[in-house]
């Protein structure tokens, strides 16, 4: 019996890995050479359904395979993908289950995330305004500080997409917090987990790209410029991943939870939620 469950899980992880790889092929190229894709979306759904480890493995294998196919000459890219996608998938699945099991107040976290994203948007708006708009970036903001410290002659180019999508994240999480009573607790927990994981992905993409590529070419000044140029793609991919995964997760979960194909360690939560609804109805009837 245990062997059958293990085999089922391996098959499902392999399926999600293949879907994550296929999702990475569905992409829109950005001016800086990076691209927006659906691989992260598949990984997030896998993490929500199967848990952190399974989701992380699915993302690492699926998107790692894509990089192995197209970036064989850039081992730093392959290594970054394997490390980061596992961490992001693990963060989604683990945080989602923690919120559910500990009954953490998702609404407060969403308000906090909203403030964080709005703050990031304001910061990058200021940097953009300070810079050379004719080149759709800035030369005299953050880059001047970096150049003074490290003696670099390079200049950073931050796309206006960064503050735009920061504001969209902030507004979206704020609206979700306001409308919390209209969303199921499961959807709220998923939204919080995915939003936090997207932050991990954006920061991780930047830091690992800077460090790993800097080590490979022995030029951290150049690698930080390259890492900065990829931020817009990370934001847009993250935004799409949040919207799609939160919209589609619960319908998928409701459709497959009775199949017995995977061990659902959050099923008890559904019963608790039903009890809350019944109790609320009884209180309403007593009041009437």
155-189 per-position pLDDT tens digit = 556 677 888 889 999 998 899 889 877 888 888 89
What pLDDT, on the 0 to 100 scale, is given for residue 260?
A: 66
d(Cα 277, Cα 265) in Å, to the nearest integer?
21
Task: Provide the mean pLDDT of the chain.
Answer: 80
Q: What's the token pair of residue 99?
A: 């919120």
Q: Which of 92-106, 222-236, 257-271 has the highest mean pLDDT?
A: 92-106
**Residue 153 confidence (pLDDT):** 56
Q: In a 3-state reduction of DSSP, which class is residue 160?
A: coil
The DSSP secondary-structure symbol of 27 reads E
Are 260 and 177 in contact, with CB atoms under 8 Å apart?
A: no
pLDDT range class, residue 62, cuts 50, 70, 90: very high
Cβ atoms 90, 59 nearer than 8 A = no
Asked if the 2-287 domain carries CATH number 1.10.1760.20, the reply is yes
Q: Is the pTM of this model over 0.85?
A: no
């Amino acid at each position: 019996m245990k062997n059958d469950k293990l085999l089922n899980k391996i098959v499902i992880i392999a399926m999600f890995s293949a879907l994550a790889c296929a999702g990475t092929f569905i992409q829109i190229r950005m001016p800086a050479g990076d691209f927006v894709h659906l691989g992260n979306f598949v990984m997030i759904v896998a993490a929500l359904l199967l848990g952190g480890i399974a989701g992380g493995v699915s993302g690492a294998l699926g998107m790692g395979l894509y990089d192995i196919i197209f970036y064989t000459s850039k081992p730093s890219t392959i290594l970054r993908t394997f490390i980061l996608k596992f961490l992001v998938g693990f963060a989604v699945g683990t945080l989602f289950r923690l919120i559910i099991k500990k009954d953490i107040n998702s609404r407060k976290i969403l308000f906090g995330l909203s403030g964080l994203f709005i703050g990031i948007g304001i910061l990058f708006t200021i940097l953009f305004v300070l810079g050379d708009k004719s080149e759709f970036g800035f030369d005299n903001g953050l880059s001047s500080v970096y150049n003074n410290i490290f003696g670099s002659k390079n200049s950073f180019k931050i796309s206006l997409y960064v503050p735009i999508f920061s504001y969209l994240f902030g507004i979206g999480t704020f609206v979700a917090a306001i409308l919390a009573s209209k969303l199921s607790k499961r959807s709220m927990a998923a939204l919080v987990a995915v939003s936090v994981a997207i932050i991990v992905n954006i920061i991780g993409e930047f830091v690992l790209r800077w460090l790993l590529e800097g080590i490979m070419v022995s030029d951290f000044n150049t690698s930080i410029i390259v890492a900065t140029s990829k931020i817009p793609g990370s934001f847009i991919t993250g935004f799409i991943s949040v919207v799609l995964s939160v919209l589609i997760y619960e319908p998928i979960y409701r459709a497959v939870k009775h199949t017995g194909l995977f061990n659902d360690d959050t099923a008890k939560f559904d019963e608790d939620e039903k009890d809350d609804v019944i109790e609320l109805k009884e209180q309403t009837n007593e009041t009437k």
